[in-house]
Structure 1
Amino acid sequence: MQRILKKVRCFNPEILKTAANLTVACLISGCVIALVYFITEPLTEKNRVKYVQDAMQSLIPDASSFSPIKNHANWYKAVRGNKITGYIMRVKTMGYGGKIMILAAADTNGRMLDYSILEHNETPGLGDRADKQNFRRQFRGKAIDQLVVVKIHDPDKIDALSGATITSNAVTYGIRTELEKLISYLQTNKEDK
């Protein structure tokens, strides 16, 4: 028992002081980080929305506005005057590096116009080439049955990116799947065509 009391008496008050200082520093740092987050989050969201709108406009430049399609939160009609000029679909797919977010544009007949990758974690120099013009160009004007990745060149299909077949397949599969849903929707909803 005396041994325990000796250890307690040897307790250094500097340790308690240091622990208290570190706790206060952590609390202040946490509050500052939270404050910065709450101040910048609305601006970040505003910039994110503008980025998506600019990407939509670049995919269908002749559209004067984009309106959401009822019951399809990730689809938009591209409109000029009273005429629908195309459709934009948000596509989520899984690539080699994880989630890939894409905006894909189709004409009123369900053919691909173009796409833009909004976010990805693909390998630099390999999978990230899926957002370059050389790869994107292959999708333009393609019908749904032509959205197939091949390793040997075929002008009617999509050539895989060398060293990034998983990314090529992911982008193509994601776009094809969403395009199939859009075509099915348009066949049953003629007023949106």
Structure 2
Amino acid sequence: PLSVSIVDVIVNGSKLKAIMKTFKKAGATSMEEYSEFTPIKLGDWEPWHKHAEFYKVEDDDGLVAHIVETYGKGYSSYINILVSVDREGRIMKMEVLAHGETPGLGDEILLDYFKDQFVGKGRDQMLVIKGETSENIQAITGATISTRAVTNGVKDALELLEKYISGEFVPLADDAKPEGGGH
């Protein structure tokens, strides 16, 4: 079972590659070094007209997780997000890869207290609430737009996976222009 943080990211040219960190093999620099897991690129999509990728990670027993890159439209920027999702469609980990939100307000999307509230939640719980909540996502005071952007980006990723699994979304070949997804 995966119980430690699952997502680490490196930038390789213009593409983001999801790297498993959970198993902490010393000196591992690529997914392939985690011999008990296999990354499989499932396809491309365009949330907010930005190129993104999604993967599944398998071991000998089958699916371990899906890893989806997504975007949300923030207050002053697009927010680039990476989400890992378990077999049941619940968030395992969420990381903000890049943003241009307001320092001291919107940039709180980088803090663990904010990111950790996504863990264990599914698509139906991706609702921003002003005030305390453990069932949904609590808005960052003074940065509701940034909070909604991340929450909507994560929700889009979960919806993409649901559509992919049901066969409703079929990714295009690597040499084709990606389409669909997002807003």
Same fold at TM > 0.5: yes
What is the alpha-carbon distance in structure 2 between the residues aligned to residue 49 and residue 81 of structure 1?
27
**Structure 1: 5+ residue runs without aligned partners?**
1-46
Letter in 1 for 2:124: D
Distance 1:70 1:101, change over 3 A: closer
Asked if structure 2 preserves the Cα contact closer than 8 Å seen for 1:56 and 1:103, the reply is: no
Q: Tell me which residue corresponds to 1:81.
A: 60
Confirm whether residue 178 of structure 1 aligns to residue 157 of structure 2: yes
Q: Tell me which residue corresponds to 2:125.
A: 146
Confirm whether residue 65 of structure 1 aligns to residue 38 of structure 2: yes
Please identify which structure carries the higher helix content.
1
TM-score by length of 1: 0.65
Q: Tell me which residue corresponds to 1:98.
A: 77
Letter in 1 for 2:12: V
Aligned residues: 140
Distance 1:116 1:71, change over 3 A: closer
What is the alpha-carbon distance in structure 2 between the residues aligned to residue 52 and residue 133 of structure 1?
22
Asked if structure 1 preserves the Cα contact closer than 8 Å seen for 2:70 and 2:153, the reply is: yes
Q: Tell me which residue corresponds to 1:127.
A: 106
Deviation at 1:66, TM superposition (A): 2.0
Asked if structure 2 preserves the Cα contact closer than 8 Å seen for 1:74 and 1:90, the reply is: yes
Deviation at 1:79, TM superposition (A): 2.0
Letter in 1 for 2:64: T
Asked if structure 1 preserves the Cα contact closer than 8 Å seen for 2:43 and 2:55, the reply is: no
SS of the aligned residue for 2:92 comes to: strand
Question: Between Structure 1 and Structure 2, whose CA radius of gyration is higher?
Answer: 1
**Structure 2: 5+ residue runs without aligned partners?**
1-9, 24-33, 46-51, 169-183
Give the root-mean-square deviation of aligned CA atoms.
2.3
Deviations 1:40-86 (A, max 9, x none): xxxxxxx6229944x6424xx25733220146561101122352100
Letter in 2 for 1:166: I
Please identify which structure carries the higher strand content.
2
Q: Using CA pairs below 8 Å that are at least 6 residues apart, which structure has the higher relative contact order?
A: 2
